[in-house]
Amino acid sequence: MKILVCISNVPDTTSKITFTNENTTFNTTGVQYIINPYDEIALSKAVDLAAAASGSVTTITVGDASTEPTIRKALAIGADNAVRVDAAASDAWFVANQIAAYAKNNNFDLILTGRESIDYNSAQIAAMVGELLHIPSVSIAKGIQVANGQASVEREIEGGKEVLTASLPIVIGTAEGVAEPKIPNMRGIMGARSKPLEVIAATAVEPLTKVKSYATPPARGSVTLVNEDQVDELVSLLHNEAKVI
Closest by Cα among 45, 113, 62, 80 to 197: 80
- The pTM (predicted TM-score) of the whole model is 0.86
Q: What is the mean pLDDT of the chain?
A: 93
Confidence of residue 162 (pLDDT cuts 50, 70, 90): very high
pLDDT reading at 50 higher than 90: yes
pLDDT per residue as tens digits for the range 186-245: 999 999 999 999 999 999 998 888 888 998 888 887 888 889 889 999 999 899 888 888
- CB burial class (10 A; 0-12, 13-18, 19+) of residue 214? middle
Confidence of residue 61 (pLDDT cuts 50, 70, 90): very high
Residue 243 is predicted with a pLDDT of: 85
Residue 220 is predicted with a pLDDT of: 80
pLDDT per residue as tens digits for the range 74-132: 999 999 999 999 999 889 999 999 999 999 999 999 999 999 999 888 899 999 999 99
Q: How far is 61 from 67, CA to CA, in rounded Å?
A: 8
Residue 217 is predicted with a pLDDT of: 83
pLDDT reading at 72 higher than 90: yes
Kindly report the CATH number that applies to the domain delimited by 2-213: 3.40.50.620
pLDDT reading at 17 higher than 90: no
Tell whether the torsion through CA atoms of 9, 92, 59 and 179 is positive or negative: positive
